Chain A
Amino acid sequence: MRRELILALVLLPVLSLAMVTAQEAEEAPAGKLGDKGDGSRAHPVHRIPLIAENEDGEKGEQVALDDELVLPFSTKWTCGECHSYDIIKHGWHFNAIEPNAPAGRPGEPWVYFGQRLGIQMPLSYRDWPGTLKPADVGMTDYRFTQIFGRHMPGGGPGETKATDMDEIGRQYVSGTLEINCLACHNGHHGQDQGGVNGYAVQVSKQNYRWAAAASCEFAAVKGSAAAMSEAFDPFMPEGDDKEPHVVYDEGAFNADGHVLFDIVRESPNARCYYCHSDVFYTSEEGHDEKWTHEEDVHLKAGLTCVDCHRNGIDHDIVRGYPGEIADSNNPMVATTTCESCHLPEGPDVPEAGRLGAPVPKHVGLPTVHFERMSCTACHSGPWPGEKTVWAKTSRAHRLGTPSVNKAPETLPHIVAPVFAEKDGKILPHKMIWPAYWATETEGEISPIAIDVAEKALEDVFKDLEMPETGDWPGITDAQVAQALTTLNGIVDSNAVYVAGGSVYRLIDANSVAEEADHAAGEPYMWPIAHTVRPAAQSLGIRYCTDCHASDSPFFFASVTVDSPVASETPVVKDMVTFQEISPFYAWAFSASFVFRPFMKYVALGAAGILGIVLLLYGLRALGAVAKVLAEDE
């Protein structure tokens, strides 16, 4: 009996452990049909049923045109039938809000700006030094989605459950902004991201639940969730035209109620361009339309964006920067950089020449350049001029959406190219100078919540005349002082204003003290990777003096210090101040290139003379040997 008891005591935990393990194995997400390819390069046909989400946020019924309530299809449940949504949502484009997601190399921030209030803030959920967290400026995920969802692929903050009491009700009306798979993978030309009834407009109307459907070619969405009260129940509509509702193209459905999606694995370039376009106002003559600018040389050579920016079902996409291997689990990151395709080096298998990449000659280029500069320094972005230029990006300037201000100087102000040193190498960057109202406690500056600042300063700046170009109206020091006085009555600590690299502190009701080059005002920069120029248009192609001249833009271009505060003379900094190099050294080294040809002639001449001496005396020595040999005969 005792032996049986001991046996039972030993076996019980073992059996329990085995059962728990088996249960866990059952709960682990099983790979779905579309999670892994079978090897075929052909596109799978997607003639599939549309699945809606029910009022509990779970999988609902198949969409049918004869339903009493025709709901928008949900990408989460429609695409999720065959592709693991729970895996995809941790991909790079969606995981910014995850605290454990690697931040990776600093990239483009989301820019919140207010023309009247002199606000321009680079925001990011990622730990990119120089950006502000949305929560730090009092912005909830729901608010963030409403402002920036127009250029988000959904997911991330768009799917966060609202916790703010006001927003909980609104989110029930609007739904969540699911990952819009079609934003990237719809190969149909009717995919509408930025049109007048497209995805971006639906987001602005808080029609999050309907946005993905509105973007596809066979559905139209009308009404606005934003116009509805919190009492509105989208699952029990009253039939008012103002209510958000979807109208499907009947011809898109077959007899089984299935629709045909033109789904492509490899996203077309145009899909990427919707969020990743940029324009640089380099032309003094105003030739800044896209047809006057070249595309990336890789695209012109026949490649697509996703030839390099690859990912699997986890959507851990290759960003393509050196050192990405430390931040990513994508097995392709180590072999998908400029070097890995263009340079004749590789691990065991030669990687050079992949995708037809030419191996560069770099004739006459000292190898120190590869240690001190990135490939993009010479090959990417606009050719530098005497002064940085305004740049616009899709996400900062909502390019590709209706009613965009097309003036070059419209806010937010991004300047480029800025050749700045990061981690020991010089790279071309886009740059933004933050401007925001803040508090200062024991030297620490923290931004004031946007809503608080906007409400408090509404009256202070109400008479400012707003330029039609979308530029700053030009705030005076007195107005800054007035605003700070107003804010001091609201916030607990001293209010300050951060702008143009400076911090403005209140002296009295009409004047402020400016502390220049303050850490809180440092510009945020992110590297320019595209547009890649061909070798024949790279820096240094003509001669060293493309960069090594005492007036070369690479070192001495004027970088605009952008500020909402009015200034009689434009404030600029020399490019070299961002390169961790002494300006005098940069000038002296560049100036020395004036003598470089002289040095070459002298050295070659000296070598020639020494060669002649050697030849002359060598011949004489040879003559002596010949004489000895001849005498011997």
Chain B
Amino acid sequence: MFSTITILVFLATLLGIIVHWFAYPASSECRQGGAMSGLIHVFTLLLIEQRSSLLGALKKLCYLLAIVCFVVLALTGFYPVLVRGEHLSGYLLMIHATFAPIFAICLAVLGITWAGANRFANGDCPLLQRLIRQCTSLAVPQPEQGPCRCTETAQKVAFWAIVVLALPLILSIVLSMLPLFGTHGQELALTCHRWSALAFGVMVLIHTYLAVRIRIVQ
């Protein structure tokens, strides 16, 4: 069942991204140049800018490393389950376990350094603000006027979802290595790891898509 749901969820996510890309082309939001120049710009972002501060360079390196680790972890984690229909084991397990702590470190660093920028602020979701004001009559600030920030808001949601999902993802597998859970607990932990990995993977895909889209627009 897990395999079927995973394949369906990933397909739906990719399909959603593609539909969104064409339904709301990034070129329509571009402030300068076209989508192609935006894409080129995104690829140049893989390089560390000379004007970046040390912290900025470290953040970028950390992000790039996290992306690499995510790709490796996703491939090694989902491939045996989805393609071979068996548990993760052998060399794939060793690779998975090698990249996992690096990814955890990257997540922690990005969590600290990006949390401030991803705080929800006034105007992130005017619709919600207006709805709360109308329904509750609370002193919720008036939404700021300006261009639509839906993409940024969605990215923030994805970021916090990643941070939240990282906890069961990491803890489920690390705690199962400690002499805490019996057989049933071990099975539960493994199930938890699988499902949180699925949700986490979807969120990372969405976050990455939105990050690329925002860069293109900028």
Hey, which bits of chain A sit against chain B, CB under 8 A? Answer: 360-368, 370-371, 585, 588-589, 592, 596, 598-600, 602-607, 609-611, 613-614, 616-617, 620-621, 628-629, 631-632
Contacts and interface: CB of A to CB of B under 8 A. Distances in A.
A366 B97 CA distance: 14
Given A588-B94, A632-B139, A610 B89 contact: no
Interface in B174-188: 174, 176-183, 185-187
Nearest to A544: B177
B178 A364 contact: yes
Interface in B81-110: 87, 89-91, 93-94, 97-98, 100-101, 104-105, 107-108
Given A368-B87, A607-B174, A617 B115 contact: yes
Contacts of A364: 176-181, 186
Given A609-B112, A610-B111, A614-B167, A603 B139 contact: no
A613 B164 CA distance: 10
Contacts of B173: 603
Nearest to A367: B186
Contacts of B166: 606-607, 610
B170 to A, nearest CB: 4
B131 interface: no
30 contacts: A361-B183, A363-B180, A363-B181, A363-B182, A367-B186, A367-B190, A368-B89, A370-B183, A585-B91, A588-B94, A589-B94, A599-B100, A602-B105, A603-B174, A604-B171, A605-B108, A606-B101, A606-B108, A606-B166, A607-B174, A610-B108, A610-B163, A611-B167, A613-B112, A614-B163, A617-B115, A620-B119, A621-B120, A628-B139, A629-B138
Contacts of B119: 617, 620
Contacts of A614: 163-164, 167
A350 to B, nearest CB: 15
A-B pairs, 3 with minimum CB distance: A606-B104, A364-B179, A606-B108
Nearest to B120: A621
B167 A613 contact: no
A428 B67 CA distance: 44
A493 to B, nearest CB: 45
A616 B111 CA distance: 12
B46 interface: no
A599 B115 contact: no
B170 A603 contact: yes
A607 B167 contact: yes
A370 B190 CA distance: 14
A599 B97 contact: yes
Nearest to A372: B89
Contacts of B138: 628-629, 632
A359 to B, nearest CB: 9
B140 interface: yes
Given A610-B111, A610-B163, A628 B174 contact: no
Given A365-B183, A613-B112, A371 B177 contact: no
B177 A607 contact: no
A368 B185 CA distance: 13
A588 B150 CA distance: 48
Contact of A585 (B90, B111, B187): B90
B108 A609 contact: yes
Contacts of A361: 182-183
A633 to B, nearest CB: 9
A611 B111 CA distance: 10
A600 B171 CA distance: 10
A628 to B, nearest CB: 5
B87 A600 contact: no
Interface string B50-91: 000000000000000000000000000000000000010111
Given A368-B87, A606-B101, 12 more contacts: A361-B182, A362-B182, A363-B180, A363-B185, A589-B93, A599-B101, A603-B101, A606-B104, A607-B170, A610-B163, A613-B115, A616-B115
A583 B185 CA distance: 32
B183 A362 contact: yes
Contacts of B101: 598-599, 602-603, 606
A371 B167 contact: no
B170 A613 contact: no
Contacts of A370: 183
Contacts of B104: 602-603, 606-607
Contacts of A604: 170-171, 174
Contacts of A628: 138-140
Given A367-B186, A368-B89, A589-B94, A606 B176 contact: no
A616 to B, nearest CB: 8
A366 B186 contact: yes
A361 B180 CA distance: 10
A609 B111 contact: yes
